[in-house]
Structure 1
Amino acid sequence: MRYAICFTPPASDPLSLVAANWLGRNVYSGDMLEPPAVRGLSIHEIAFHTAVPRRYGFHGVMKAPFHLSADMSESQLLRDLMRFAGTFAPFQISRLEIARLGSFYSLMPSAPCEQIQYLASAIVQEFDRYRAPLSEADIERSDPDGLSAAQFANLHRWGNPYVMDEFRFHMPVTGSINAVDMPRIESALRKIFEPVLKEPVMVSNVALMIEEGTGGPFRVHSLHPMGKVSARRIA
């Protein structure tokens, strides 16, 4: 079993519902869903192109999946994550947009968001003590020969190349897409997601996600509200 610390909107948020339908799985309940009807794309194509993000569920990772250190427990992780989340005030991402990262598509902030960068860096540092050391196989899967010097240093220090200054917040909605298929996939993504991307996205919870068995799907284990309890009650 692995854990990950992420952001994902509440289960009832329109963005969560649209993303669950597109990916074919609800990250909260684990329920499998029928893909939407999209002109120009078959349901088999959608299922194929969403296979990777469907396993991980709709989320933006802040601390990538990790095995729990032998001297740490899930109850300790839950307690510390609840405490930690309460020290950060909720904030907004002004807007998310469909964007391409390499060969796959994600939802990404339309403008730099310092708060999400800071939150992610703080989570990586605060919870690294919970992470079991990487195995040699883990390191090899990260393709160390293809990393920059900074990414290579991050891999060995934090267990993930893409943290700190290398971090870019994104919420994947496809796997790797062939260049020939990109125009059709991007058009479909815009039709499906843009109606729910018009408003700012509130970041008011940190999600603990767990992997169901070795190599299984991830789901939301718990949401940890940000901000002081008294402030949340007033709001």
Structure 2
Amino acid sequence: MDQIKRYAVYYAPPAGEFADRAAEWLGWDAARGLAVVQPDLGLPAAEITRDPRKYGFHGTIRAPFRLGEGVDFPALDQALTALAARLAPVRLDGLRLESLGGFLALVPEGDESPLLELAAEVVSALDPLRAPLTATEIAKRRPERLSFRQRQLLEIWGYPYVMEEFRFHLTLTDRLADPGPVAAVLRDHFAPVLPRPFPIGDLCLFGEGQDGQFRILHRYTLSG
């Protein structure tokens, strides 16, 4: 794991039609670590999926972080194994497509409280393993644009959108000037494969390779 620049804990769908369709749309299969041909939907797919393609199809639980000094992959693996053993799976009603500040994403339907609690536990439990943010990393978060509370969370947890600011979503596009036409196409494209109900049964450890692409390294079954 010496070639991994950063780690992240994400939700990623298990193998199946949903995972395949999402990977094809983004042009990157994080499970196999391979670029895939994007579908011809009459959209400039390659141009409007640049940002999410890097990360692979996912829902953030613990945003990307570098391991702290003296922390290695086995320590991270052990922590995630223990964490998953005590956390219960989450089950939501389903997913729907929404525009979030101009970018399109799938967001959960139903009571999100168990998911919010899960995410908070993952963030707090893994925090001792991450390296402190550098000045450059802080600047990339544009702290001047964050709320006071978000700046506090950035300082405490290394990411501004955690705890009460956490909003689970699975990103499908870059920010768009007019998301409406793209949304209409993607809503039809994903409708046949969207899970209903929507279960989260494991935590996925992703790693950022030297090429800047994120890949799934391991799945940890939630069995608490």
Structure 1 residues 204 and 176, CA gap change in structure 2 (3 angstroms):
same
Show the counterpart of 1:62.
Answer: 61
Show the counterpart of 2:118.
Answer: 119
Amino acid at match of 1:57: G
Show the counterpart of 1:212.
Answer: 209
Q: Deviations over 1:45-90 (max 9, x none)?
A: 1011011111100110111000100121110100110111011122
Show the counterpart of 2:8.
Answer: 4
Amino acid at match of 1:31: L
The whole-number CA distance in structure 1 between the counterparts of 2:111 and 2:201 is 18
Q: Which runs of 4+ in 1 moved over 6 A?
A: none
Amino acid at match of 2:126: F
Q: Does 1:84 align with 2:83?
A: yes
Show the counterpart of 2:95.
Answer: 96
The whole-number CA distance in structure 1 between the counterparts of 2:7 and 2:103 is 23
Q: Does 1:37 align with 2:36?
A: no
The whole-number CA distance in structure 1 between the counterparts of 2:217 and 2:10 is 11
Q: Secondary structure at the match of 1:174?
A: strand
Show the counterpart of 1:23.
Answer: 26
Q: Deviations over 1:91-134 (max 9, x none)?
A: 21211111111011111012341111111111110000111000
The offset of 1:168, in angstroms, is 0.1
* Structure 2: runs of 5 or more not aligned: none
The whole-number CA distance in structure 1 between the counterparts of 2:121 and 2:67 is 18
The offset of 1:25, in angstroms, is 1.0
Q: Secondary structure at the match of 1:216?
A: coil
The whole-number CA distance in structure 2 between the counterparts of 1:128 and 1:103 is 30
Q: Does 1:184 align with 2:188?
A: no
Show the counterpart of 1:73.
Answer: 72
The whole-number CA distance in structure 2 between the counterparts of 1:119 and 1:15 is 23
* Structure 1: runs of 5 or more not aligned: 229-235
Show the counterpart of 2:143.
Answer: 144
Q: If the length of structure 1 is used for normalisation, what is the TM-score?
A: 0.91
Q: Secondary structure at the match of 1:28?
A: coil
The offset of 1:149, in angstroms, is 0.8
**In the alignment, is the contact (CA less than 8 A) between 2:18 and 2:195 conserved in 1?**
no
Aligned pairs, number: 220
Amino acid at match of 2:23: A
More strand by percentage: 2
The whole-number CA distance in structure 2 between the counterparts of 1:199 and 1:122 is 25
